Amino acid sequence: MAKKKSSAEKRHRKSEERRLRNKSAKSAVRTSVKKFVSLAQKKDPDTESALKDMIKKLDTAAGKGIISKNAAARKKSRMQRYYNVTKAAQ
């Protein structure tokens, strides 16, 4: 049986740390999107602040390379359009 290389062990350890960090950031983005959508459906006055929070989380994740910049832009565009439609319906 061959010996494990210490550099391979470190590489595995670091990749696991990054995976957990990325998973947490993606989860935070999904949670903020769900929060925004639920507030928009209820016509809650806090919807605008939830939208700003969601956009901030998307931009942060895109800046760190966790999600692609195009995916973040697409999600922001769709949510902004959804916000405008629900606000106009009020």
Written as six digits, the tokens of 84 are 């405008």
Q: Average pLDDT, stretch 2-25?
A: 90
**Domain ranges (residues) in the chain:** 31-90
Q: Which residues contact 36 (CB under 8 A, 6 or more apart)?
A: 47, 50, 51, 53, 54, 79, 83
Per residue in 28-72, pLDDT tens?
Answer: 999 999 999 999 999 999 999 999 999 999 999 999 999 999 999
Residue type, 60: T
Whether 2 has a pLDDT exceeding 70, the answer reads no
Per residue in 19-40, pLDDT tens?
Answer: 999 999 999 999 999 999 999 9
